[in-house]
Amino acid sequence: MKHHAIFLDRDGTINHDSGYIKDPSEVVLLSGVSEGIKKLKNEYAFKAIVISNQAGVSKGIMTIGDVDSVNDRINHLLKKNGTEIDAFYYCPFHPDFDSPEKSNCRKPSPVMIVQAAEEHEIDISKSYMIGDKASDIECGINAGVKTVLINSEDNRNEISILHNLGKKPNFTAANFKEVCDFIINDFSGGI
């Protein structure tokens, strides 16, 4: 049996994005994230999978170990609230520092979603990509999943970027609670 999933960007979607987070003690979950992931997993049987670009590794700002430690901290905080991320996928490469072959995992490429879908038996047609950047939405569109853009004060230009590309998310939310409400309504056939 195939599962359905929420694919989540990490920095700026799950946790506050202070820029190239490498110290686990800096992780601060955004409001409503723990409750939302818990509800989608427990009540609607979604898998929660992170899809994240982590070019700070390629740029020499952090190590793979730093990324893994931050991911572990995110799951530690989520587990304190009765939920967790099922899997973390990230691309540590950047085309300015690595070959095109290595960098092809970077969003907006759908490579990480496709890999996660294969490894976790995910039904793409019943899954969602949630993020705060145009590249997150493009990644979801490229993979064939529905997309939700968290449109906060910090990222107002992401809509313009998508508009200029002739693309748009299935839904735009002001916060994670709105994301969850949309997904529940859409998944349940209410929209």
The answer to whether residue 161 is domain-embedded is: no
The answer to whether residue 158 is domain-embedded is: no
pLDDT above 60 (res 23): yes
Return the structure tokens found at 171: 């839904």
Express as a percent the part of the chain with pLDDT over 70.
97
pTM for the full model?
0.95
| 190 vs 173, more confident | 173
Residue 154 carries which side chain, given as an amino acid letter? D
Tally of domains in the chain: 1
Which residues, listed in sequence order, are joined to residue 62 by a DSSP beta bridge?
none
Return the structure tokens found at 3: 């599962």
The answer to whether residue 57 is domain-embedded is: yes
The per-residue pLDDT for 151 is: 87
d(CA 7, CA 50): 6
Catalytic (active site) residue 23 = no
Cβ 129 vs Cβ 136: under 8 Å: yes
Task: Look up the CATH number of the domain holding residue 84.
Answer: 3.40.50.1000
The answer to whether residue 189 is domain-embedded is: no
What pLDDT band is residue 22 in, cutting at 50, 70 and 90? very high
The answer to whether residue 173 is domain-embedded is: yes
| 156 vs 92, more confident | 92
Question: What is the span of the domain harbouring residue 133?
Answer: 4-153+167-183
Q: Can you say whether the dihedral through the CA atoms of 164, 169, 175, 176 is positive or negative?
A: negative
Annotated active-site residue in 11, 17, 86, 136: 11
The answer to whether residue 188 is domain-embedded is: no
Average pLDDT, the chain: 95
Annotated active-site residue in 9, 66, 86, 132: 9
Catalytic (active site) residue 9 = yes
Average pLDDT over every residue of 112-127: 97
